[in-house]
A and B are shown apart, each in its own frame.
Chain A
Amino acid sequence: MPTETPSTTPPDRESRAGDPVRERLREQRDLALGERDAALRRLAEIEASAGYRLLALFWKLMRRLAPPGSWRGRLYRRLRGARPAASTPESFERGGNDDSVANDPWPELYAIEEQVTATHLPAVAILSTVWLLESEGQRPTQLALELARRGLPVAFCYWRWWPHEWAVQDRIDAGIVQLPIDLVLAHPERLVRAFSGHRQRIAIVAFPHPDFFELVAALHAAGWIVVYDVLDDWEEFHRVGQAVWYDEPFERHLLTGADAVFTVNDVLAERVRELGRDAVAVVGNGFRPGLEEVFSPRPLARGEVTAGYFGYLAGAWFDWALLAAAARKRPDWRFYLIGYGGAPEEITLPENVVLLGKQPQHALAAYAANWDVALVPFKPERLAAGADPIKTYEYLAMGLPVVVTGVYPPPGSEAFVTRTEGVDGFLAAIAHAARHQGADAKAARQRFAAGCTWAHRADAMLDAIDRGEQRVAEKRALMRVDR
């Protein structure tokens, strides 16, 4: 497949992609939407917490004791004040709300079908938990962008919290149409029949939502190569109160039937085997070249050793206790944290831990240029073990040595990424890594990262599919037309 990929981007796409004002506006919008998503994730975490559940029980009890309309109810409301209830959807609502006509994305899908003439290239559909936000850097987004850059049409199906939310169709010129997943599930045949003139159609399922049952069956029957891209340990997410929709039998079902299964690391590959899937390939995460460039310096006060982290500061996996303890033991060091979120109430951060808040993606390299060591301090639990943080690749591309806890170094990166555990081990690893600041060491790290771009990852996936690995050859043979 890569041999068939055009070597240049079509001119109209190039000119659009090169418009810096447009790119900056998109980044700002992405940032806002990213913050919204992060807030929603935080909301979901809160809802999953024991405290919230206790409160929910209390409210339930109060609704019985002080029902609306009763004098006790009125008194209770006056004392408490109104607070809207938040919801965590467990299944996709079917499309068809008031906004559905105004925002009807199907004509855009048909427009892309007509726009793409290179039918010898595969067409791709991606079922994603996230929106197409480049600044968020998530794998489904980056794969969609990378594939579109090669001229492959992409139907990017995004999960949304409420039916009135719509992604702006700002990637049509690039060959990407954005469809809400609930709408796709309401009209599966529209996606299933799309791109029927293409030599090959690939559906990448990035999360195992059980509501995909019928859609996946239809994709199989229509000859799509169904890929399950295992990005996380969803069962563990479910166990900690997120991914409330998770259903293990359905994930097994998806694994059995998928024509190809990719995981981001060996830990997830092993889990996939335990769930009954023998054939699986590891394709790690990657990074977007250019992220390592410093556009304008962002000087920071330095410590004896300066270390930093950027990314989502999720309580579910970020090891605040470890970081706080380490910082306390080394008051002359400085730890910078960039990202949405903050330490939980029970953790008091020492002064040498500095929260910089969420920063634009293009500024990350400038902040990181002040660091001696980059960190991924995740809890040593199953949730983190299943992750392959994209930031690890980004740190390496910036030339930084990396110290991780909870997660594993990407295969081949063990010389540049140190995995450790415990406060003392963490400090020792940081001190050791901080001593490796030579130009050669930095170049070696960057060379490793250069082989881990999203383009390499897309190559790995497309090549495996092109070679007919796993069950892809079987699917192709199943779909051969009348003899």
Chain B
Amino acid sequence: MKVLFVYKFLTVGGVETVLRARLDALPAHGIDGHAWFFRDLGGKSVFRGCEERIRVGSPAQLAAGLAGSGYDLVTTFDSPELFTDLSLPAGLPVVVECHSPYVENLGYLGDLRSPPVVEIWVPTDFQRGVVAARCRVPLPIEVLPNPIRQAFLDPVRPFPAPPPRPVVAWVGRMDELKNWRGFLELGRELLARRFTGELWMAGKPVEPGVAGEIRRLASEQGILPRLRWFRELPHEHLPAWIDAVRDSGGVVVSTSRGDTFGMTVAEAMARQCAVAAPAMGPFPEFVTDGETGLLLTPDKPADAAKRLLELLADGPRRARLGANARALIEERYTPEVSAKALVARLRALAATSA
């Protein structure tokens, strides 16, 4: 079986991470997986070692490539160009994978037609609800768990040179939806309660001027002296980065207002790091408050700071949450688990097509 995964942007993000894990896992199941991107925005490093199975080209080039390529199925991650800009070979089934947390990007769901679309895949139950509310055609919506990359699931070893103070860390795209401002507000509340550690951010601003805005706000809120920003941290360094946070006695937090899966939190959990995430969106599906992490009331930074400080002061509790988190990720989100679910769906669709 030969499958092509299509996504518009080749960047360093969650979709690329998922695709990389799939490309790694599928050959063992006898499935030949490839990926196609419309634009390269600097994400090739994610596919180091399997470059021969990714291509970057326009929708027109893709259309030309599809004819006679032998693909049995095409899936597309929130890339409606596949339907609007090119004519697909007759009979080629298409799966829409809806991972975008940006509501403005989901308008295409209302225009889906069947055929060619045979099914919609989403990473969480939360996203299933989002998609169902926007889709006019009664298509099956299946939850396919995202895989965590193997690097995050490697054995946990002590970080060789932990940071000198506890770190409260935030990872993500620096835009409104991921709510980096929320992290600065949380930092302000932590410092107001005599938090003596550091605040780390890993992420790249999407819009120009954001860096200046971060500095201005961080300075105004008095947290600039404790802030350590890693702009555009390569994904391959993220496991070690999380290990450093964990062994500093710290916590990875999310202030996101719009995730469809919560990959950064799940990756931290895989590294056995205590996490705190908003009690909304997809997070409650894998963060159980007090068991595998903390669930915080959104937009209540003072409350969140209070609970975080309790956790920062309680090493055994952090260790327990981290261990539980790791166990949950190993149970649900390993590449094997995810690949099995993916392979099962692919085979089911192949059988239907046949």
Which residues of A come within 8 Å of B, CB atoms? 210, 213-214, 216-218, 220-223, 247, 249-250, 252-253, 255-257, 275-276, 278-279, 468, 471, 473-474, 476-483
B 151-180 binary contact with A (CB < 8 Å = 1; else 0): 100100001111110000000000000000
Instruction: Assess whether B161 is in contact with A256, with CB atoms less than 8 Å apart.
Output: no
The A-contacting residues of B in range 201-258, CB under 8 angstroms, are 202, 211-212, 214-215, 218-219, 222, 224-234, 236-237, 239-241, 244
21 contacts between A and B (CB under 8 A): A213-B211, A213-B212, A213-B214, A214-B231, A217-B211, A220-B229, A220-B230, A220-B231, A221-B231, A222-B232, A249-B222, A249-B224, A250-B215, A253-B218, A255-B225, A257-B229, A474-B161, A474-B163, A478-B237, A480-B237, A483-B151
List 6 extra interface pairs beyond A257-B229, A480-B237, CB under 8 A. A213-B215, A217-B230, A249-B219, A474-B162, A480-B240, A482-B151
Query: Which 6 pairs, one residue from A and one from B, show the smallest C-beta to C-beta distance?
Result: A252-B225, A214-B211, A217-B231, A217-B229, A473-B161, A221-B230
CA distance A476 to B237 in the complex (A): 11
Residues of A within 8 A of B241 (CB): 478
Instruction: Known contacts A256-B198, A477-B240, A479-B237; decide if A221 and B225 are in contact (CB<8 Å).
Output: no
Q: How far is the CB of B211 from chain A (nearest CB, A)?
A: 4
CA distance A483 to B214 in the complex (A): 32
Residues of A within 8 A of B215 (CB): 210, 213, 250
Instruction: Known contacts A477-B244, A483-B239; decide if A218 and B225 are in contact (CB<8 Å).
Output: no
Instruction: Assess whether A478 is in contact with B240, with CB atoms less than 8 Å apart.
Output: yes
User: In this complex, which of B159, B233, B244 has the most chain A Cβ atoms within 10 angstroms of its Cβ?
Assistant: B233
Instruction: Known contacts A249-B224, A474-B161; decide if A218 and B237 are in contact (CB<8 Å).
Output: no
Chain A residue with the shortest CB-CB distance to B42: A189
Instruction: Assess whether A278 is in contact with B244, with CB atoms less than 8 Å apart.
Output: no
Residues of B within 8 A of A474 (CB): 161-163, 244
Residues of B within 8 A of A278 (CB): 164
Residues of A within 8 A of B239 (CB): 482-483
Residues of B within 8 A of A249 (CB): 218-219, 222, 224-225
CA distance A474 to B162 in the complex (A): 6
Instruction: Assess whether A221 is in contact with B226, with CB atoms less than 8 Å apart.
Output: no
Instruction: Assess whether A483 is in contact with B154, with CB atoms less than 8 Å apart.
Output: yes
User: In this complex, which of A223, A276, A483 has the most chain B Cβ atoms within 10 angstroms of its Cβ?
Assistant: A483
Instruction: Known contacts A250-B219, A480-B240; decide if A256 and B211 are in contact (CB<8 Å).
Output: no
CA distance A482 to B241 in the complex (A): 11
CA distance A473 to B229 in the complex (A): 18
Residues of B within 8 A of A473 (CB): 160-161
User: In this complex, which of A276, A468, A479 has the most chain B Cβ atoms within 10 angstroms of its Cβ?
Assistant: A479
Chain A residue with the shortest CB-CB distance to B198: A256
Residues of A within 8 A of B224 (CB): 249-250, 252-253
Q: How far is the CB of B250 from chain A (nearest CB, A)?
A: 13
Q: How far is the CB of B87 from chain A (nearest CB, A)?
A: 38
Chain B residue with the shortest CB-CB distance to A250: B224
CA distance A221 to B234 in the complex (A): 7
Q: How far is the CB of A439 from chain B (nearest CB, A)?
A: 50
Instruction: Assess whether B237 is in contact with A256, with CB atoms less than 8 Å apart.
Output: no
Chain B residue with the shortest CB-CB distance to A480: B240
CA distance A137 to B57 in the complex (A): 53
Instruction: Known contacts A278-B164, A478-B244, A482-B151; decide if A256 and B233 are in contact (CB<8 Å).
Output: no
Chain B residue with the shortest CB-CB distance to A223: B237
CA distance A202 to B59 in the complex (A): 42
Partner of A253, one of B225, B230, B240: B225
CA distance A252 to B226 in the complex (A): 8
Instruction: Known contacts A480-B240, A481-B237, A483-B151; decide if A218 and B161 are in contact (CB<8 Å).
Output: no
CA distance A222 to B236 in the complex (A): 11
CA distance A421 to B273 in the complex (A): 57
Instruction: Known contacts A221-B233, A250-B219; decide if A256 and B225 are in contact (CB<8 Å).
Output: yes
Q: How far is the CB of B23 from chain A (nearest CB, A)?
A: 15
Instruction: Assess whether B163 is in contact with A482, with CB atoms less than 8 Å apart.
Output: no
Residues of B within 8 A of A481 (CB): 236-237
Residues of A within 8 A of B162 (CB): 474
Partner of B159, one of A216, A222, A477: A477
Residues of B within 8 A of A479 (CB): 237, 240
Chain A residue with the shortest CB-CB distance to B205: A214
Residues of A within 8 A of B214 (CB): 213
Instruction: Assess whether B232 is in contact with A218, with CB atoms less than 8 Å apart.
Output: yes
Residues of A within 8 A of B236 (CB): 481-482
Chain B residue with the shortest CB-CB distance to A278: B164
CA distance A221 to B174 in the complex (A): 15
Q: How far is the CB of B155 from chain A (nearest CB, A)?
A: 8
Chain A residue with the shortest CB-CB distance to B164: A278
CA distance A257 to B154 in the complex (A): 28
Instruction: Known contacts A213-B211, A473-B161; decide if A256 and B240 are in contact (CB<8 Å).
Output: no
Residues of A within 8 A of B228 (CB): 220, 256-257
Instruction: Known contacts A217-B211, A479-B237, A482-B236; decide if A253 and B244 are in contact (CB<8 Å).
Output: no
CA distance A255 to B228 in the complex (A): 10
The A-contacting residues of B in range 34-56, CB under 8 angstroms, are none
